[in-house]
Structure 1
Amino acid sequence: MNQETLKYYLCWLQEYFVDQGMNPDWAIFLNTIINCVALGLVVFLVDVFVRKFIVQLFKAFSDKTKTTYDDFLVKSNFPRFVAHFFPVIIIAATLPIIFVEYPLFGSFLLRLVDVYIIVLCVLVFRSVLKTTRGYLEHKPRFHDKPLQSYQQVMMIFGWGVGIFLIINILTGYSIFSLTTLGAASAILLLIFKDTILGFVASIQVSVNDIVRIGDWITFSKYGADGTVTEISLATVTVQNFDNTFTTIPTYSLISDSFQNWRGMQESGGRRIKRALFIEQASVKLVTDEELEQLKKIQLIKPYIEHRQRDVEKYNQRTEADKTVLLNGRNQTNLGIFRKYVDAYLHENPAINKELFLMVRHLAPTDRGIPIEVYCFSSDKRWENYEHIQADIFDHIIAAVPYFGLELHEIPSGNDITGLLKHKPSIVN
């Protein structure tokens, strides 16, 4: 149907009313009202029919294809938004004819239609972004990437362009003038300051691979200790181990210090670094009789025998007077104990022997002599790691008395009360 034929049908009622003796102005007004109602009804029916047809067409197409991208298009309402273009085309083609006698009002309505088209284009763009994000999130390669941040950035860009075009349509001002661009830039910088910071941070986080979705991070400043579940443009969501959620500004990952446990999770083990304190007064040189008793401990028997042969050769060579135990070289109960703990860790199947393993003697303190265990458990899961660590130190603590050593412990109130009870009374 060409424009002249359409104009004839739309103006037929107007001519009919004039022929019936109606005032031409009222005939034009009444004809315009009836045409608007008829246009609204036609647009509604076309919108319903076309929307159902396109949605069903997309669903049928997506069911027959192997790719899942079109499935996500259907879920993101892409077909519905596309279907809305057909009624808009009818409206844009019909309005100039319906309001030919009211050009100013018709021009205003056409501007509103143009605004609606721009909004519709932005919504279609958003659907494509949501579809792309949903599709990529199901790919292992992009599973831990901050796709939501990129989607939000693109949507801000899309809405920004849309708003500029709408302002241009409604006001007639050019969006490309330096004054307009400068004012718009200042407004955008003021309104979207946090968003821009988040955008820059998201890029740095992604490019430098600082944080991924699924990483375990500890951020003391915000009380976060758990798994990263979402990285958006403005915030990072962390699910803590008590199942609470902590929201962290994205740019804080760049500006502040936090701990990422990914290196531990990707390594061969989880570190055990803990010390127990030995009472200094219990450390002593070991006599031959005591050495014979310690040789009954199977893990350190080879070490004691080898070490003792070296000690005896040295003492014979230097003619050390062994009537005094301190002369020459000697073994100590603390040294043998350290070797025992080292041998025990090397025999423990729960410890990764390929990673660093050490039992070291730290500087003495007022709490005693720290003997630190430094090793890595093979199992990195938190619960199993704690069990392994507890089993190791349960055994070490129980082994301390076998070497004539004592653990340092700060006296409790009951200890002090017991001493006071046994203290002899003073007679004045």
Structure 2
Amino acid sequence: MKLENFTHFFYDFFISAGWSKPIAVWVNFILNIIVFIIIASALRYVFIKFFRGFLSQIAAKTKTKFDDYLFSNKAIVNLANLIVLIVGRTFITDFLIDYSSPKALIISIVDIAIIIMFIWMIRTILHSFKDYLRSLKNFKDKPIESYIQVFMIITWMIGIVLISSIVTNKSIADFLTAIGALSAVLLLIFKDSILGFVASIQVSVNDTVRIGDWITMEKYGADGTVIEINLSSVKVKNFDYTITTIPTYYLNSDSFTNWRGMQNSNGRRIKRSILIKANSIHYLTGEEIEELKKIQLITAYLNTRTTEIDKYNTKNEIDKSLLINGRNLTNFGVFRKYVDQYLSNHSALNKDMLMMSRQLAPTPHGVPLEIYAFSRDKVWKNYEHIVSDIFDHLLAAVPYFKLEVFEPPTTHDIQKITQNNTRL
């Protein structure tokens, strides 16, 4: 049976049954469309089964995982859909040979469907390629999404031009001419995408940010791990499990902190101060020195230091009736030495990196004694525990040196002063 005879089968049947010609024509048209859809669906099912079986055998013999990602992104289904549409486009003219008016519309719809499915097939391949590159160590932290999005924008623009040409029945050259005239408008519409594309290239080339980096950008409330870099935005998963989205080009125009250097180093920096009251700092008397010698970490230091000071003062006949004369030890200086010894003996600190205590410039709130060191453990939770343990110990040690930590007066302190003044 010829295809032309098949398309008239229902028409001939209804005419022989006594139906009127107009009704027989349109019922025949509807049934032909239904038959066409059924055949196309059957072909789609056969193609999917065939490609799935055939390609799975090939995939089993290959070492690359790219074919596995094609399977997971439904490339076989999209390929089958595309082939069915192309085959259908070839034969639909014969199915609708007697229906010139709806035939043109249906052919246009099928052509548009082929273009969209072809674009979708490209998208599937690109996403499979992205997933494959993500599995490779060298590309795991690169902004691949940005390049895929740029390619897809170009593909969609070409697709829209082709679809518009089909819908309006005008040549592609006419649309390209119109797009050239509207280029300024298009640049304005795609400004963020263009800026994002340029920024993503700069980010990749300069290695500013990678996926998995911990970044802090206070302006946008971002403090966490970068989970995605695409054409328009960078997604940061904050430590409170919220997601902050930052425009990609802001990574070049604004400042932010990338903690990758710290994570790749041998330690995480500790830089924190204790504020000591200035009026609690004084020269140490002999009795106070003897008392401090009981602190084992600085016993050897005090023995050596006091011997050196006594020799100097004796040699130069220093009048020690006043402590200010000659060379002396201060409780603050001895405390700094204690801090240095304590840090050097701390097992959680990296001894191969810079480690010290230093006195900063006096402030209205006291004299800062800053601890500058690096913990071996860089995990945030463990790091905070180490810092807390160090400062718990040092804050508790301050009174042993007759020093005081600065604290603003509380309501209780003011009430106590008031009560003392009232008694006087």
**TM-score normalized with structure 1 length:** 0.87
Structure-to-structure mapping, 1:77-226, within 5 angstroms: 77-101=74-98, 103=100, 106-171=103-168, 172-175=170-173, 179-226=177-224
In structure 1, runs of 5+ residues without a counterpart are none
Given candidates 252, 255, 271, the residue that maps to 1:254 is 252
- Note if 1:415 corresponds to 2:413: yes
Match among 36, 52, 57 for residue 54 of structure 2: 57
Instruction: Flag as ranges the 4+ runs of structure 1 deviating above 6 A.
Output: 11-31
Equivalences for 1:8-407 in 2 at 5 Å?
Answer: 35-101=32-98, 103=100, 106-171=103-168, 172-175=170-173, 179-407=177-405
Deviation at 1:159, TM superposition (A): 1.1
Check the 8 A contact 1:175/1:181 in 2, yes or no.
Answer: no
CA-to-aligned-CA distance 1:309-333 (integer Å, 9 cap, x gap): 4333433443322333222222212
Q: Is the 8 A contact 2:82 2:118 kept in 1?
A: no
Change (3 A) 1:105 1:287: same
User: Secondary structure, in 3 states, of the residue corresponding to 2:421?
Assistant: coil
Measured against aligned partners, the alpha-carbon deviations of 1:155-209 in whole angstroms (never above 9, x if no partner) come to: 2122111112222333323347763232453343233222222222222222222
Q: 1:296 to 1:15 in 2, by over 3 A?
A: closer
How many angstroms apart in 2 are the aligned matches of 1:306 and 1:145? 58
Per mean C-alpha deviation after superposition, the further-off stretch among 80-89 and 115-124 is: 80-89
Task: Supply the distance in 2 between the matched residues of 1:282 and 1:142 (Cα, whole angstroms).
Answer: 58
TM-score (norm. length: structure 2): 0.88
The residue type paired with residue 137 of structure 1 is R
- State the alpha-carbon separation in 2 of the partners of residues 127 and 191 from structure 1: 26
Q: Is the 8 A contact 1:167 1:173 kept in 2?
A: no
Q: Secondary structure of 1:276's match?
A: strand
Structure 1 pair 10–359 and aligned structure 2 pair: CA distance change class (3 A) = same
Distance 1:353 1:149, change over 3 A: same
1:300 deviates by: 1.8
Greater mean deviation of Cα atoms: 118-127 or 303-312: 303-312
Q: Is the 8 A contact 2:162 2:172 kept in 1?
A: no
Measure, in 2, the Cα distance between the counterparts of 1:232 and 1:302. 61
Deviation at 1:79, TM superposition (A): 1.0
Does the aligned pair in 2 maintain the 1:282–1:406 contact within 8 Å?
A: yes
- Give the 3 Å change call, closer, same or farther, for CA 37–420 of structure 1 in structure 2: closer
Q: Give per-residue Cα distances to partners, 1:403-428, cap 9 Å, x unaligned.
A: 222222222111121222233457xx
CA apart distance, 1:151: 2.4
Name the CA distance, whole Å, in 1 between partners of 2:294 and 2:311: 23
Evaluate the alpha carbon distance shift between residue 418 and residue 39 of structure 1 in structure 2; reply closer, same or farther with a 3 A threshold: closer
Determine the C-alpha separation between the residues in 1 that align with 2:9 and 2:280: 115
Deviation at 1:44, TM superposition (A): 2.9
Letter in 1 for 2:312: Y
Decide which moves more: 94-103 or 137-146. Answer: 94-103
Q: In structure 2, what residue type is equivalent to 1:275? A: S
Judged with a 3 Å threshold, the aligned counterparts in structure 2 of structure 1 residues 291 and 20 are, in CA distance, closer, same or farther, namely closer
What is the count of residue pairs matched by the alignment? Answer: 423
Question: Secondary structure at the residue paired with 2:362?
Answer: coil
**Distance in 2 between residues matched to 1:50 and 1:350, nearest whole Å:** 63
5+ long unaligned stretches in structure 2:
none
| Compared CA separation, residues 16 and 395, structure 1 to 2 (3 A) | closer
1:328–1:170 distance in 2 versus 1, CA, 3 Å: same
Deviation at 1:46, TM superposition (A): 1.9
